[in-house]
């Protein structure tokens, strides 16, 4: 559905009027396209002194096509290596490094601060590193003009941050801001032979793929080299077949809650094995709890959570999900913030976060499979087009980028997580929504 306000603010009278009235001034986000695959402009690498990662970072960023500069009048991205920050006085260097450059960062630019996980055995280091989180989340709210800021914690070697930095320092992460992401461990990292087709040779199953976010995920996984098996309810078969034919994939009309769902999935896999499992299918059955019959409660818990657990458990246990495999589940900011009328939906989506955090370390240790989750905010789909106008308008504006996300924003994050580099992370694709922030 067209965002008329965003289109209006892109015009000169729109800019004038919204500035005069103090209204939100979203800028059109510059997303990935074959013509614009990279951020355009300098990447500035700054350091808060004494980092052990500097040489590796220079090599890594050069490999991304952004050989770092030490000065730039108008940088497209600023990476601040704050991994050496170990006590509160060190934080002065964060101010010293970023204060002079923050104003000059280009529209749609990026700030990525690199830190290390807070150390439970060193409360001075923990205070200083945790301070970076509050700093980055606040900066993300200040930047405006489509510019984003995130914190990447690197517990091990800088090389574990390759896929994460590739994502954050590209137009693919346009709607991701104010996030804290931990890279590694080493076992979660798989650097593909060709970063232009990082999923080449991999088979992916996407549930709920007939439309919306699932269709966009299928598009991006295929762009990135995967073969896709696309699942959706039999009632959506027409749309599902259209998507599968367009992408050279396999259509699997199937209700994910069916008793024989896993058998049917395995039978549909071209080689019997699976590398990427995207749990995207989801439903809402909104009512306040006082008015909610048990069938509406159960339907949402069954599709959004129970079926995710059942299929994940079986595909892992049987080894169908091969070593090196990746699971990406779909949570929601409603599961983080809560939402009136969505006790069932929010419960199911919070359950996804719990499942991901608990299973991910064991899935990696026992099966060599990572598990992460995306938590979309307000994304323009049929689901959100059904939201009443005023609430829809509020949903679009109440985030640091003052606009809704697009299905492709969730899809880009999913493809990054399907490539590897992180485990047990819950990544919000929400423009730093005020809900649950």
Catalytic residue annotation: 345
Q: What is the 3-state secondary structure (H, E, C) of 284-336?
A: CCCECHHHCCHHHHHHHHHHHHHHHHHHHHHHHHCCCEEEEEEEEEECCHHHH
Binding ligand NAD (rule: CB under 6 A), the pick from 257, 285, 296, 434 is 257
Q: For ligand NAD, which is the closer residue by CB, 47 or 173?
A: 173
Q: Give the residue from 233, 213, 238, 242 showing the smallest Cα distance to 328.
A: 213
Out of 43, 169, 210, 402, which residue is the one contacting ligand NAD (CB under 6 A)?
A: 210
Please say which residue, 75 or 407, places its beta carbon nearer to ligand NAD. Answer: 407
Distance of closest approach, residue 241 Cβ to ligand NAD, in angstroms: 13
Coil, strand, or helix at residue 427? strand
What are the residues whose beta carbons fall under 8 Å from the beta carbon of 118, sequence distance 6 or more? 125, 126, 127, 129, 130
Query: Judged by CB, which is closer to ligand NAD: 131, or 265?
Result: 265
Residue 281 interacting with ligand NAD (CB under 6 A)? yes
Q: Tell me how far, at minimum, the Cβ of 220 lies from ligand NAD, in Å.
A: 14
What does the chain come to in residues? Answer: 437
Q: How far is the CB of 290 from ligand NAD (least distance, A)?
A: 23
Which residue of 108, 129, 312, 384 would you call a contact of ligand NAD, by CB under 6 A? 384
**Cβ neighbours for 273, distance < 8 A, ≥ 6 positions apart:** 203, 320, 321, 322
**Beta carbon of residue 420, minimum distance to ligand NAD (angstroms, whole number):** 22
DSSP state of 172: G
Q: Which two tokens stand for residue 92?
A: 């002065």
Query: What is the contact mask toward ligand NAD in residues 290 to 329, using x (rule: CB under 6 A)?
Result: -------------x--------------------------
Q: Which of 48, 83, 207, 432 binds ligand NAD (CB under 6 A)?
A: 207
Would you count residue 330 as binding ligand NAD (CB under 6 A)?
yes
CB 329 within 8 A of CB 356: yes
CA 130 – CA 126 distance, rounded (Å): 6
The CB-of-368 to ligand NAD minimum distance in angstroms stands at 26
- Tell whether residue 110 is a contact of ligand NAD (CB under 6 A): no
Backbone angles phi, psi at 135, to 5 degrees: -60, -50
Residues forming a β-bridge with 230 = 206, 251
Minimum CB–partner distance for residue 365 and ligand NAD (Å): 27
244 binds ligand NAD (CB under 6 A): no
Q: Closer to ligand NAD by CB, 75 or 351: give it.
A: 351
Helix (H) or strand (E) holding 43: strand 43-47
Which of 7-15, 54-62, 147-155, 249-257 is the region at the interface with ligand NAD (rule: CB under 6 A)? 249-257
Look-up: residue for tokens 């896709």?
A: 228
Q: Give the three-class secondary structure for 152.
A: strand
Single out the residue of 381, 400, 403, 423 in contact with ligand NAD (rule: CB under 6 A): 381
| Radius of gyration of the CA atoms of the chain, in A | 21
Closest by CA to 274, choosing from 310, 323, 307, is 323
CB of 206 to ligand NAD, least distance (A): 10
262, 378, 392, 423: residue in contact with ligand NAD (rule CB under 6 A): 378
Choose the stretch contacting ligand NAD; rule: CB under 6 A; options: 51-59, 203-211, 318-326, 358-366: 203-211
Which residues touch 78 (CB under 8 Å, ≥6 apart)?
43, 44, 46, 98, 101, 102, 105, 109, 110, 111, 112
Query: Which residue number, 203 or 332, has a Cβ lying nearer to ligand NAD?
Result: 332
Site string for ligand NAD, 221-240 (x = CB under 6 A): ----------xxx--x----
* Type and span of the H or E element at 205: strand 203-207
Q: Does 433 bind ligand NAD (CB under 6 A)?
A: no
- Determine the distance from the C-alpha atom of residue 291 to the mean position of all C-alpha atoms in its chain, rounded to a whole number: 34
Q: Please, what is the minimum distance in Å from the beta carbon of residue 356 to ligand NAD? A: 14
DSSP 220-278: HHHHTT-EEEEEE-GGGHHHHHHHHHHHT-EEEE--TTSTTHHHHHHHHSTTS-EEEEE
Among 26, 68, 171, 208, binds ligand NAD (CB under 6 A): 208
- In angstroms, what is the minimal distance from the CB of 389 to ligand NAD? 16
Q: How many residues bind ligand NAD (CB under 6 A)?
A: 28
Site string for ligand NAD, 338-377 (x = CB under 6 A): --------------------------------------x-
Q: How far apart are CA 1 and CA 166, in angstroms?
A: 30
Residues that bind ligand NAD (CB under 6 A): 207-208, 210-214, 231-233, 236, 255-257, 280-283, 303, 330, 332, 376, 378-379, 381-384
């Amino acid at each position: 559905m067209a965002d008329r306000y965003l289109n209006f603010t892109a015009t000169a009278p729109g800019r004038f009027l919204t500035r005069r009235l103090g209204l939100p001034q979203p800028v059109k986000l510059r997303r990935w396209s074959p013509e614009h695959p990279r951020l355009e402009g300098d990447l500035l690498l700054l350091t808060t002194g004494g980092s052990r990662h500097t040489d590796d970072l220079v090599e890594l960023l050069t490999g991304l096509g952004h050989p770092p500069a030490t000065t730039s009048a108008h940088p497209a991205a600023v990476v601040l290596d704050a991994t050496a920050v170990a006590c509160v006085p060190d934080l002065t260097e964060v101010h010293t490094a970023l204060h002079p450059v923050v104003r000059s960062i280009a529209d749609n630019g990026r700030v990525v601060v690199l830190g290390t996980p807070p150390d439970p055995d060193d409360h001075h280091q923990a205070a200083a590193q945790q301070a970076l989180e509050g700093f980055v989340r606040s900066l993300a709210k200040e930047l405006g003009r489509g510019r984003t800021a995130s914190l990447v914690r690197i517990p091990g070697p800088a090389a574990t941050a390759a896929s994460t930095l590739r994502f954050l320092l590209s137009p693919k992460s346009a709607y991701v801001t104010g996030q804290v992401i931990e890279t590694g461990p080493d076992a979660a990292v798989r650097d593909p032979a060709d970063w232009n087709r990082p999923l080449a040779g991999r088979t992916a199953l996407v549930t709920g793929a007939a439309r919306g976010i699932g269709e966009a995920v299928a598009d991006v996984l295929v762009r990135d080299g995967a073969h896709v098996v696309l699942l959706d309810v039999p009632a959506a078969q027409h749309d599902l077949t259209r998507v599968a034919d367009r992408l050279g994939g396999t259509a699997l009309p199937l209700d994910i809650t069916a008793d024989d769902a896993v058998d049917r999935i395995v039978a549909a896999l071209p080689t019997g094995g699976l590398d990427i499992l995207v749990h995207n299918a989801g439903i809402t059955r909104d009512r306040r709890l006082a008015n909610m019959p048990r069938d509406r409660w159960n339907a949402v818990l069954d599709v959004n959570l129970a079926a995710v657990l059942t299929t994940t458990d079986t595909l892992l246990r049987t080894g169908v999900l091969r070593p090196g495999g990746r699971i990406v589940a779909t949570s929601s900011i409603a599961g983080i913030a809560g939402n009136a009328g969505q006790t069932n939906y929010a419960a199911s989506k919070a359950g996804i976060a719990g499942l991901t955090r608990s299973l991910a370390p064991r899935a990696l240790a026992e099966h060599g499979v990572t598990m992460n989750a995306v938590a979309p905010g307000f994304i323009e789909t049929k689901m959100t087009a059904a939201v009443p106008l005023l609430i829809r308008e509020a949903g679009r504006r109440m985030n640091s980028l003052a606009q809704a996300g697009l299905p492709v924003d969730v899809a880009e994050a999913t493809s990054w997580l399907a490539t590897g580099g992180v485990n047990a992370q819950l990544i919000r694709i929400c423009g730093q929504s005020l809900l649950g922030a």
